[in-house]
């Protein structure tokens, strides 16, 4: 067994559409754990066998056509839980938690929010507040915990291509930042920022923006945050932008972090 442990998050934007590049990427990068979001597939159609063939267990919760989360692991996962355990959110496939390799993993696809003036934005804020309560109720800051996924939030000015223009919009709003700060104060650390402090590093480039990737018009909204006991073992973190340039890519790129094994 390797002395290092590699974990990734990837908004795949339809796992069925992305299977060829996903399978090639898994074989090439060999992550130990992968959190997927926007799988957009019902559970009976999830590609369990294809992923097992390349060495991965699959835990998943899906919906038809939208949302959907999954965790792929080389080691068999335990302590599996789905959702926020509340009826209000029970129809949304946005959260899976597992324990694998002695680490608690919480994979989230946070609601996008659409527009600041909309009910969708208020739903996003309420969902994030409930998530913070879920984490504080089910875990302790001194435990090995990783919260990762598509947070749909860029934390600071370095994480958007035009911070002055975009400040106050969905994904870069003070109320969202305040909720991230609750997570930080509880004991979660932004692993990317432990290793990279400059701006211009993005994980998402909107399809609707002409040549957005080439023009570097992106957002860093896909994250891996960890408690101190894990964060201290962090060796490096990087965004695999090659995947955004692949044939028929997602509008996101995978974000990967490597740790000393627990």
- Does residue 156 carry a catalytic annotation? no
Q: What percent of the chain has pLDDT over 70?
A: 98
pLDDT of residue 89: 59
pLDDT of residue 142: 98
Distance, in Å, from the CA atom of 70 to the CA atom of 59, rounded to the nearest integer, reads 5
Angle between helices 174-186 and 119-138 (to 10 degrees): 0
Q: Which residue has the higher pLDDT, 174 or 89?
A: 174
Distance, in Å, from the CA atom of 132 to the CA atom of 251, rounded to the nearest integer, reads 27
pLDDT at residue 212 is higher than 60: yes
pLDDT at residue 199 is higher than 80: yes
Over residues 22-45, mean pLDDT: 97
What does the pLDDT look like over 103-154, one tens digit per residue?
Answer: 999 999 999 999 999 999 999 999 999 999 999 999 999 999 999 999 999 9
Per-residue pLDDT band for 88 (boundaries 50, 70, 90) equals low
The active-site residue, picked from 101, 150, 190, 251, is: 150
The active-site residue, picked from 56, 109, 134, 139, is: 109
- Report how far Cα 157 is from the mean position of its chain's Cα atoms: 20
pLDDT at residue 195 is higher than 90: yes
Distance, in Å, from the CA atom of 126 to the CA atom of 102, rounded to the nearest integer, reads 30
**Which of 196, 201, 191, 197 shows the shortest CA–CA distance to 229?**
191
Per-residue pLDDT band for 252 (boundaries 50, 70, 90) equals very high
Percentages of the chain per state (helix, strand, coil), in multiples of 5: 30, 25, 40
pLDDT of residue 223: 98
What spatial distance separates the first Cα and last Cα of the chain, rounded to whole Å? 12
Per-residue pLDDT band for 237 (boundaries 50, 70, 90) equals very high
- Does residue 150 carry a catalytic annotation? yes
pLDDT of residue 70: 98
Distance, in Å, from the CA atom of 147 to the CA atom of 78, rounded to the nearest integer, reads 16
pLDDT of residue 65: 83
pLDDT of residue 86: 61
């Amino acid at each position: 067994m390797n002395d290092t442990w590699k974990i990734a998050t990837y908004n795949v934007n339809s796992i069925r559409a992305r299977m060829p590049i996903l399978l090639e990427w898994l074989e090439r990068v060999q992550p130990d754990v992968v959190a997927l979001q926007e799988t957009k597939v019902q559970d009976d159609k999830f590609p369990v066998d294809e992923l097992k063939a390349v060495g991965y267990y699959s835990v998943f919760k899906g919906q038809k056509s939208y949302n959907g989360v999954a965790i792929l692991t080389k080691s068999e996962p335990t302590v599996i839980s789905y959702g926020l355990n509340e009826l209000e959110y029970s129809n949304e496939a946005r959260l899976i938690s597992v324990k694998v390799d002695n680490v608690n993993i919480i994979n989230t696809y946070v609601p996008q929010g659409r527009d600041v003036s909309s009910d969708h934005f208020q739903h996003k804020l309420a969902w994030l507040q409930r998530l913070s309560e879920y984490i504080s109720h089910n875990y302790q800051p001194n435990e090995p915990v990783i919260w990762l996924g598509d947070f749909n939030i860029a934390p600071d000015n370095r994480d958007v291509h035009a911070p002055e223009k975009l400040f106050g919009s969905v994904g870069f709003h003070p109320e969202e930042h305040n909720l991230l700060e609750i997570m930080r104060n509880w004991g979660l650390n932004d692993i990317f920022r432990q290793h990279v402090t400059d701006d211009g590093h993005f994980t998402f480039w909107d399809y609707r923006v002409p040549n957005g990737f080439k023009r570097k018009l992106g957002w860093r909204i896909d994250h891996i945050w960890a408690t101190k006991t894990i964060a201290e073992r962090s060796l490096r973190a990087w965004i695999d932008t090659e995947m955004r340039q692949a044939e028929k890519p997602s509008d996101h790129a995978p974000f990967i972090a490597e740790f000393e094994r627990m």
